């Protein structure tokens, strides 16, 4: 098949509203998202598709960055999920232990997914499981020595990779972007009260 797609982060995130675009315009489409917007404006001139300019681009960029980061994970034989778990354990500090439920909450996946991640990591000899003393139900997942060595090396490489990607932005751009992202997230979390433009409830 050999399509030009760019390692497309496995799912989600990717597409916003359809992502498409190059439908013909091989010249200077300016931008994938701009091309999509042009199609919509032709087909649905009644709608204001300007939000795609931000949201669509945000998603595409995030997908692209993820694909870049994944390359490093894979170099160490890790998937994104496994990398996350090892990193969360390493960050915890000695003795590099955390409970599965804690790891699940931190990495934003269900406990079912976490069980399987730990299974894989345990099989690979990177973590070990043990029961907790206090509570017979409790388990603790700990980095093995091999796991600690691997994540220390992998995380350093990961940071070099992130530095490389961020190197495309100038210092002020970086700061401005960080602030915009932080503020937007905060307003989303804060829910009401921060709204700037009165938003039409999207009900229907």
- What is the number of alpha carbons within 13 Å of residue 125 lying toward its C-beta? 4
104 CB burial (10 A radius; 0-12, 13-18, 19+): buried
The stretch near DNA (CB under 7 A) out of 33-41, 69-77, 89-97, 137-145 is 137-145
Residue 39 interacts with a second copy (CB under 8 A): yes or no: yes
For the chain, the C-alpha Rg in angstroms (whole number) is 21
Residue 186 near DNA by CB under 7 A: no
- Residue placing its CB nearer to DNA in the complex, 8 or 65: 8
Among 54, 55, 71, 113, binds DNA (CB under 7 A): 113
| 44: alpha, beta or left? (left if phi > 0; alpha if psi -120 to 50) | beta
Could you give phi then psi for residue 140, rounded to 5 degrees?
-130, 140
By a kind-dependent CB cut-off of 5 to 8 A, residue 51 interacts, out of a second copy, DNA, none, with a second copy
Given a second copy, DNA, none, residue 181, with its beta carbon under 5 to 8 Å by kind, binds a second copy
- 8 Å CB contact between 103 and 143: no
Q: Of the listed pieces 20-28, 118-126, 128-136, 137-145, which binds a second copy according to CB under 8 A? A: 20-28
Tell me the two tokens of residue 192: 């009401």
CA–CA distance, 76 with 20 (Å, rounded to integer): 33
Residue 126 contact among DNA, a second copy, none, beta carbon within 5 to 8 Å by kind: none
135 binds, among a second copy, DNA, none (CB under 5 to 8 A by kind): DNA
Nearer to a second copy (CB atom), residue 119 or residue 186: 186
Say whether residue 52 binds a second copy (CB under 8 A): yes
x/- letters, 65..94, toward DNA (CB under 7 A): --------------xxx-------------
Residues 59-98 close enough to bind a second copy by CB under 8 A: 59-66, 68-69, 72, 75, 80-81, 83-85, 87-88, 90-93
Long-range contacts of 10-19 (CB under 8 A, 24+ apart): 13/59, 13/62, 13/63, 13/66, 14/59, 14/60, 14/63, 15/59, 16/52, 16/55, 16/56, 16/59, 16/60, 17/52, 17/56, 19/56, 19/60
Interaction site with DNA (CB under 7 A): 1, 8, 10-11, 79-81, 99-102, 109-118, 120, 129, 135-139
């Amino acid at each position: 098949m050999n399509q030009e797609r760019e390692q497309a982060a496995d799912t989600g995130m990717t597409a916003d509203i359809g992502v498409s675009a190059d439908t013909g315009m091989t010249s200077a489409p300016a931008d994938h998202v701009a091309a999509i917007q042009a199609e919509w404006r032709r087909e649905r001139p009644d709608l204001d598709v300007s939000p795609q300019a931000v949201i669509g681009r945000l998603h595409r960029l995030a997908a692209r960055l993820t694909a870049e980061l994944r390359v490093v994970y894979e170099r160490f034989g890790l998937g994104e999920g496994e990398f996350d778990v090892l990193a969360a354990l390493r960050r915890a500090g000695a003795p590099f232990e955390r409970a599965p439920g804690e790891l699940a909450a931190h990495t934003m996946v269900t406990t079912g997914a976490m069980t399987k991640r730990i299974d894989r990591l345990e099989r690979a000899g990177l973590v070990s499981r043990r029961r907790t003393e206090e509570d017979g139900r409790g388990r603790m997942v700990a980095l093995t020595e091999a796991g600690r060595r691997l994540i220390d090396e992998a995380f350093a490489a990961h940071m070099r990779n992130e530095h490389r990607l961020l190197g495309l932005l100038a210092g002020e751009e970086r700061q401005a972007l960080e602030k915009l992202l932080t503020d937007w997230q905060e307003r989303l979390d804060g829910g009401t009260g921060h709204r700037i433009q009165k938003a039409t409830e999207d009900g229907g």
